[in-house]
Chains A and B, each alone.
Chain A
Amino acid sequence: MKTLSDLRPVYVVGVGWHPYRYATEEPYVTLGLTAVRQALADAGVEWPSMDAAFVGTALLGMASGRPMLRHLGATGLPLVHVENASASGSAAFRAACLEVACGLADTALALGIDKAIPRPRTSSGLGGLAEDAFVAFTHFALLTNEYAARNGVAPEDVALVAVKNHGNGALNPNAQRQKARTLDEVLGGKPISGTLTSLQCCPVGEGAASVIVCSEDAIQRLGIDPGRAIRVTASAVGSETPGAGNDADAALTRTVIGRALAQAQRKGTELDVLEVHDAFTIEELLYAEAAGLCGEGQAIHLLKEGAFHLGGQCAISPSGGLIAMGHPIGPTGVGQVGEVVTQLRGEAGARQHKGARIGMAHMVGLGSVAYAHVLERP
């Protein structure tokens, strides 16, 4: 089987956002157009030079793309909608990369977009003892309890992830939460489930994120600045297998990140920046360990030493992560790629991780599915 690294090189050349925020009455069309126009301007290309478009959305429902993208000038380009729960944006990004890598397109747009529209899953027909009691934050409260018991860490220490990520979010103009928080503020917030408090849980609002990917040919032909092009050196994806117990997302993450690192011929310890699916504080610790940044149970110690802060060994969630930047679902996975690209370009301003050269974006989608992309400054 081939992987992305066996195909022709793909580069991210443009990134753009509509800031993430709490729900408003504004049409999604405005959010999407803002992000796409910003990405086009960032790449210095015009909409008609896009060969294909992939729209990642989990909540907008059927056929949301064309009513939005037609306002850029309807060129008739191939248009596909991609749904993969929280990883919808990551899936759209992978689809765009593959379209270019295998030569079906020279340029492609990945757009993640959503509004906070409640959309329950269709029942599989199989119930549980009390499935309604196990909403997402309770699932992760249970994982926090299990991790704390297994590794002998105080659950309050887990809250330090939120302190770091709120601090990063305070430096990100696209973040939904832009306020630095102390440990006391995080712990003193509204108790949600187990030891999780409200500031340890991601907000789900609205927004959009967009990236433009292209081939080396297109960089030359369209006069794109090669000095700001960031290469996608790996794309990996997988779904849950039985037998992993309660901690299936971490086991799946370990497998998928392992595949991505093997494709890129990198080790986890070589990553300078890592955007993870930190919807809840405990996840960042689990996934840092699954990515091979440290051994099991060691993440909390490294966090306390500052290893995961901006300027540390590997800046985790430099954007603020899902906890502070927000998790509007469709945009999240695309926005992570945009953040890693911004960091590797050295354009992240106040939240720049100095000397960032290799980065990863990791996302989990309910189900579970997981994605990992490695990006590198050539």
Chain B
Amino acid sequence: MDGPQLLKPALYAQGDDGVAWLNGGACACGHVFFPLQDFGCEMCGGFGVDLTPQRLKGLGRIVASATVHLHAGKGREAPFDVGVVKLDDGPVVRTLLTSVGDAPAPGQAVRAVLVEVDGKEPGQRVRDLRFEVQA
């Protein structure tokens, strides 16, 4: 399952069953969030020892999806598909999807996978996180 280095290792990690982990956090108040941060809890204001890392399983359901036809930014070629995913573990994340022009509809079950993409250096390959429809 190993491959090129991860593009954003602070945000996710490889899982041993093919489903990636997301590096989230939990507050003493019970609030679960993504990404992990130590600034403070958005729900209760807790900080410091109140906040602990929590791995979130990359499983969830599509809240919304779209195919981007025209992108107003550098370093990303349209078309590509994006989605909003409600994780089974709680947080809602905004993510790229593996599909292109065929985004899964709201309600569909999806999972996080690590896919090989071009890195910043010429010829470099890295692995980045995408969500895809659960088989």
Contact = CB atoms under 8 A, between A and B. Distances in A.
Interface of A: 125-135, 137-138, 141-146, 149-150, 190-195, 242-243, 245-246
Contact of A246 (B37, B42, B84): B84
B63 A127 contact: no
Contacts of A138: 66, 68, 82
A284 B37 CA distance: 35
B52 to A, nearest CB: 17
Given A191-B69, A246-B63, A146 B95 contact: no
Contact of B68 (A144, A190, A193): A193
Contact of B64 (A131, A135, A146): A146
Contacts of B67: 193-194
A135 B72 CA distance: 7
A190 B70 contact: yes
B110 interface: no
B109 interface: no
A141 B96 contact: no
A142 B84 contact: yes
13 contacts: A125-B39, A126-B37, A127-B11, A129-B94, A129-B96, A133-B94, A138-B66, A141-B68, A145-B65, A146-B84, A190-B69, A194-B68, A246-B92
B19 interface: no
Contact of B8 (A129, A142, A150): A129
A143 B93 CA distance: 14
B64 A246 contact: yes
Contacts, number: 95
B20 to A, nearest CB: 10
Interface of B: 8, 10-12, 31, 35, 37, 39, 42-43, 63-73, 75-76, 80, 82-84, 86, 92-96, 105-107, 128-129
A127 B10 CA distance: 10
A134 B11 contact: no
B24 to A, nearest CB: 12
A129 B129 contact: yes
B106 A149 contact: yes
A142 B15 CA distance: 28
A132 B95 CA distance: 10
Contact of A133 (B37, B64, B82, B86): B82
Contacts of B95: 129-130
A132 B80 CA distance: 12
Contact of B73 (A126, A132, A145): A132
Contacts of A145: 64-66, 106
B133 to A, nearest CB: 16
Contacts of B63: 146, 245-246
Contact of A193 (B10, B11, B66, B128): B66
A137 B72 contact: yes
Contact of A129 (B70, B72, B86, B93): B93
Which 8 residue pairs across A and B have the least CB separation, nearest first? A194-B66, A146-B64, A141-B66, A191-B69, A142-B64, A149-B106, A242-B42, A145-B64
Nearest to A240: B42
Contacts of B64: 142-143, 145-146, 149, 246
A145 B75 CA distance: 25
Contacts of A131: 94
Contacts of B70: 190-193
B42, B71, B80 pick with most chain A CB within 10 angstroms: B71
Contact of A134 (B12, B42, B82, B92): B82
A192 B67 CA distance: 9
A194 to B, nearest CB: 3
Contact of B96 (A133, A146, A243): A133
A273 B51 CA distance: 47
Contacts of B10: 127
A366 to B, nearest CB: 15
A192 B35 contact: no
A224 to B, nearest CB: 45
